[in-house]
Amino acid sequence: MTILLFLAPASVVLGLGAVAAFVWSLRSGQYEDMAGGAERILIDDDDAPPQ
Amino acid sequence: MAVTLDATGTPDLGAFLRPEADGEASLDLLVTGARCAGCIAKIERAVGDLPGVSNARLNLSTGRLGVRLDSRRIDPVRVVTALQDLGYGATPYDPGAARVQHDREGRRLILALAVAGFGAMNAMMFSVPVWAGLFGQELGPATRTLMMWLSGVVGAPCAIYAGMPFFESAWRSLKARKANMDVPISIGVILTLLISFSETILQGRDAYFDAAVSLLFLLLIGRYLDHVLRARARSAAGDLLALQAPTATLIDDQGRERIVPLGDVRPGDRLRVRPGDRIPVDAVLEAGTGLLDNSLLTGESAPETVEAGRTCRAGAVNLSGLITVRAQARSEDSALAAIARLVEAGAQSRSRYVRLADRAASLYVPIVHATALATFLGGWALGLDLREALLRAVALLIITCPCALGLAVPAVQIVASGRLFRLGVLVKSGAALERLAEVDHVVFDKTGVLTEGRPALTGGDPALVARAAPLARASRHPLARALARAAGNGPVAAQVTEHAGLGVEGLIDGRRARLGRADFVGQAAAGSGETELWFAMEGEAPERLRFSDAVRADAADTVAALRRRGLRMEILSGDLPGAVEPVARAVGIDRWRAAQTPQDKAAAIDRLAAGGRRVLMVGDGLNDAAALSRAHAAIAPGSALEASQNAADLVLSGETLSPVAAAIDIARSARRRALENFGFAALYNLVAAPAAMLGFVNPFVAALAMSGSSLVVTLNALRVSRRR
């Protein structure tokens, strides 16, 4: 059962990682335009030269 | 007001630029007409390729285009013209108003939601072994206590952080000596945490850390949905107003035109008002004569002729040619603002409305808390030990905690307002929907509600219309445009000159023709008071074209639909009886009153309310604003002035009246769903409460029951009327 001493904190750290990722995505404005992202993927910019 | 650019000079948009740290400036534009990926690519490429523009990004959800540019290298007007060349309308946002959009409360709620979600999942992960122990699996007391500690260490801080919005609201409500929904929630959560810690320390069996956090998680979803509803309506309403008239065209000392936000207009400024635009602030006409449409201010559909030196009131629409006025008052001191203050006074009566959920809470709170107390005292008296009696009382509080109440109503309302949004109805708040469902009497304003609110051709034989149309198509004057609309597409006159305040002159098939005021075509002005245009070909006698405000195409149908729903209707109009009566007959309403002042209208609403009727007011004018704010529920069309839109609960964004009936249907259906949800919650509590009192509830049962009931309530909410 001593493995719990490792697994329990590890799971909490993973969970905290998920919260941090969510907060980051919120702060970087990824939810500001939900409709735009779905449409932008259709923009055909193949003719633009690779940067 | 979309910025229109024509031969009269290039306006300066400098006032709309927001300076950025790196020396560049940003400009926010509301772009209308962008729908798809093609639009995004076209707009961003065209604007981004302009010299001096470093970045352009279009938000498709809000229609907002953010442009970063170097104002020394490019005139921001170039951005607007580039968009207009592509066929999109563009309106600059007031930088002050754009910043307000930053949504701090929503961000706080979603952070609390994220923390609660994390806490619920992780606390529950440690609770699962404890639950397994309940069913006779091997779990030593030491491991169980360790799991309970871990659950508490993760769950309790999350519960405290995520619970803050509820604790604060409960505290505010208690200070005001009232009990809202947040009081039992806060008491339940805090008590649960305390008991769970004491159980953990005493190496007991029941710890409810996961239940406390998941409860908050579910409630926060409800709270966030309610917030989204209000935020969405607020920003959509802001867009409607941005399209309307937040700007004025100022003429500076060199005679150049500058477009400025309304708030920047000072008394003494010279302002130019284009045909069809609104007078931005109270002002005096500088020269010539003007024809003003006061229908939004007084309800009168006949336009008023204004001589030089006379006052033009803010909000009136210019029906004559280009006019120049001198501002007399600042925007906030104008006649419009005076009415807005009247509205505020009326809005207090509506704030006394108690929302459904709070009414349910005021019943629910005393009952549940009394039962919990009785469980504790009764259990103790009947020989349970103190700890067991307390645990049963807390289990009762947890399992009856008003999840369903907290989630039920917002879930229903967000679904309902989403449906209404697609119909072109903006709902300002959830309370507005609840009030709308209760109305049994509808009061209509006439001008701009039952009628189009703009002149349409009514008199004049078709041959004459066809002959005059080529000149009308060349003019931007509202009456000429109404004539052009009636005539449809066709040839346009050549060599057209527009004489400000008089009319247009041009060549039709090589012959000189004039369209305009009576004296402009050589006819003695009769002063009949009617809205009219005269048309004359060279060497022929002038002929008359009459205009009046036409009844909306769907007005009669809407009235019939409302009557089928058992609503009584009447018309209160500021217009003259002769103008009201035919409209009342056309739409089929037999109770009408004309020549009503704003005070008369408000008093009429108060009388109806005193007689026990719940009144829905549908109005657009400034003269309706006081009545709108006094009525039980209020709807304003999107063309209404800011004051009226502020006073209304719902705003129609389209051009039609039919969404009124649909809105009432959806509001009633939402109310039914909410009441069903309450009924379900009551039923659930009738089963759960005795189970808790008898000690059948353990943390596992609590977790199952809570999430199960929330799921049922949410699924029921999705059933809000799907009819169009």
What distance in Å separates residue B232's CA from the closest CA in chain A? 12
- List, for residues B547-561, the tens digit of each pLDDT value: 777 888 888 899 999
Which of A4, A25, A45 best tests the B interface by mutation, with the highest count of B CBs <10 A?
A: A4
Q: What is the mean pLDDT of residues A3-13?
A: 87
Close Cβ partners of A6 (under 8 Å, ≥ 6 residues apart):
none
In one-letter notation, the amino acid at residue B130 is V
Which pLDDT score, from 0 to 100, does residue B337 have?
A: 58
Nearest chain B residue to A18, by CA: B118
Dig out the tokens for B671 from the structure: 């109310």
What is the domain partition of chain B in residue ranges? Answer: 1-102, 104-234+359-412+669-717, 245-341, 425-440+553-653, 454-550
Dig out the tokens for B282 from the structure: 């109270």
Among B60, B118, B146, beta carbon nearest to A15: B118
Q: Which residues pair with residue B651 across a beta bridge?
A: B426, B636
Q: Which residues pair with residue B50 across a beta bridge?
A: none
CA distance B317 to B303: 9
Nearest chain B residue to A5, by CA: B146
The verdict on a CB contact (< 8 Å) between B59 and A36 is: yes
Provide the 10 A C-beta neighbour count for residue B696.
12
- Residue pair B414/B225 in contact by the 8 Å Cβ criterion: yes
Q: Is the minimum CB–CB distance between A16 and chain B shorter than 8 Å?
A: yes
Instruction: Spell out the alpha helix ranges (H) of B428-569.
Output: 430-438, 462-473, 478-487, 555-564
- List, for residues B606-635, the tens digit of each pLDDT value: 899 888 889 999 988 777 877 888 888 888
Which of B118, B125, B148, B154 best tests the A interface by mutation, with the highest count of A CBs <10 A?
A: B118
Cα angle vertex B662, ends B432, B672, to 5°? 60
Q: Band of the pLDDT at B116, cuts 50, 70, 90?
A: very high
- List, for residues B285-326, the tens digit of each pLDDT value: 887 777 787 776 666 767 777 888 888 877 777 777 778 888
Which pLDDT score, from 0 to 100, does residue B686 have?
A: 85
Q: Which residues of B touch A36 (CB under 8 A)?
A: 40, 58-61
Return the biggest CA–CA distance within chain B.
Answer: 112
CA distance B161 to B158: 5
Q: Which residues of A touch B62 (CB under 8 A)?
A: 33
State the angle between helix axes of B386-399 and B356-381 in degrees (0 to 180), rounded to the nearest 10.
Answer: 160
What distance in Å separates residue A38's CA from the closest CA in chain B? 9
- B425-440+553-653 under CATH 3.40.50.1000, yes or no: yes
Lowest mean pLDDT among B257-271, B337-351, B644-658: B337-351
The verdict on a CB contact (< 8 Å) between A36 and B61 is: yes
Q: Is the minimum CB–CB distance between A11 and chain B shorter than 8 Å?
A: yes
Q: Band of the pLDDT at B97, cuts 50, 70, 90?
A: low
The verdict on a CB contact (< 8 Å) between B114 and A23 is: yes
What distance in Å separates residue A39's CA from the closest CA in chain B? 5
Among B37, B111, B143, beta carbon nearest to A43: B37
Dig out the tokens for B281 from the structure: 């602030």
CA distance B628 to B346: 9
Sort strands B25-32 and B18-19 into parallel, antiparallel or unpaired: antiparallel
Closest among B603, B609, B171, B602 to B352, alpha carbons compared: B609
Q: How many alpha carbons lie under 13 Å from residue B441 in its C-beta half-sphere?
A: 19
Nearest chain A residue to B38, by CA: A43
Dig out the tokens for B136 from the structure: 């006779």
Q: Render B592-621 in DSSP notation, one character per residue.
A: EE-S--HHHHHHHHHHHHHTT--EEEE--S
- Residue pair B638/B240 in contact by the 8 Å Cβ criterion: yes
Q: Render B110-146 in DSSP notation, one character per residue.
A: HHHHHHHHHHHHHHHHHHHHHHHHHTT----HHHHHH
CA distance B462 to B310: 38
- Residue pair B306/B366 in contact by the 8 Å Cβ criterion: no
- B245-341 under CATH 2.70.150.10, yes or no: yes
Specify the DSSP element, H or E, that contains B660. helix B659-693
Which pLDDT score, from 0 to 100, does residue B98 have?
A: 46
Ramachandran region of residue B495, left (φ > 0), alpha (ψ -120 to 50) or beta? left
CA distance B404 to B638: 35
Q: Which residues of B touch A47 (CB under 8 A)?
A: none
pLDDT at B339 over 50: yes
Lowest mean pLDDT among B473-477, B597-601, B613-617: B473-477
Cα angle vertex B465, ends B482, B305, to 5°? 50
What distance in Å separates residue A19's CA from the closest CA in chain B? 6
Give domain B1-102's CATH architecture. Answer: 2-Layer Sandwich (3.30)
Using a 10 angstrom Cβ sphere, with 0-12 exposed, 13-18 middle and 19 or more buried, the burial of residue B87 is: exposed
User: What are the φ/ψ torsions at residue B499 (nearest 5 degrees)?
Assistant: -100, 115
Q: Which residues of B13-39 are buried (b: 16+ CB within 10 A; e: fewer)?
A: bebbbeeeeeebbbbbbbbeebeebeb
Which pLDDT score, from 0 to 100, does residue B715 have?
A: 82
Using a 10 angstrom Cβ sphere, with 0-12 exposed, 13-18 middle and 19 or more buried, the burial of residue B556 is: middle
DSSP state of B9: B
- List, for residues B501-550, the tens digit of each pLDDT value: 677 888 888 788 888 877 777 776 655 545 678 888 887 788 888 877 78
**Average pLDDT score over chain B:** 79
In one-letter notation, the amino acid at residue B151 is S
Closest among B593, B607, B282, B664 to B445, alpha carbons compared: B593
pLDDT at B476 over 50: yes
Place of tokens 């629910």: B364
Query: Among B88-92, B364-368, B443-447, B695-699, which range has the highest average pLDDT?
Result: B443-447
Nearest chain A residue to B103, by CA: A32
Nearest chain B residue to A48, by CA: B45
Specify the DSSP element, H or E, that contains B68. strand B64-69
Q: What is the mean pLDDT of residues B594-617?
A: 87
Lowest mean pLDDT among B150-164, B378-392, B710-724: B710-724
Query: Residue length, chain B?
Result: 724
pLDDT at B674 over 80: yes
Q: Which residues pair with residue B312 across a beta bridge?
A: B283
Dig out the tokens for B330 from the structure: 């600042």
- List, for residues B451-470, the tens digit of each pLDDT value: 887 777 776 677 888 888 88
Which pLDDT score, from 0 to 100, does residue B467 have?
A: 81
Which pLDDT score, from 0 to 100, does residue B241 have?
A: 59
- B454-550 under CATH 3.40.1110.10, yes or no: yes
The verdict on a CB contact (< 8 Å) between B40 and A19 is: no
Q: Collapsing DSSP states into helix, strand and coil, what is residue B24?
A: coil
Q: What is the mean pLDDT of residues B151-157?
A: 92
Q: Band of the pLDDT at B343, cuts 50, 70, 90?
A: low
Q: What is the mean pLDDT of residues B228-249?
A: 65
User: What are the φ/ψ torsions at residue B65 (nearest 5 degrees)?
Assistant: -105, 115
ipTM score over 0.90, yes or no: no
Q: Is the minimum CB–CB distance between A34 and chain B shorter than 8 Å?
A: yes
The verdict on a CB contact (< 8 Å) between B122 and A42 is: no
Q: Which residues pair with residue B260 across a beta bridge?
A: B248
Specify the DSSP element, H or E, that contains B402. none
Which pLDDT score, from 0 to 100, does residue A17 have?
A: 92
Share of chain B above pLDDT 70, in %: 85
Close Cβ partners of B713 (under 8 Å, ≥ 6 residues apart):
B403, B404, B407, B408, B411, B677, B680, B681
- Residue pair B589/B571 in contact by the 8 Å Cβ criterion: yes
Sort strands B633-637 and B25-32 into parallel, antiparallel or unpaired: unpaired
Q: Which residues of B touch A11 (CB under 8 A)?
A: 122, 125
Q: Collapsing DSSP states into helix, strand and coil, what is residue B639?
A: coil
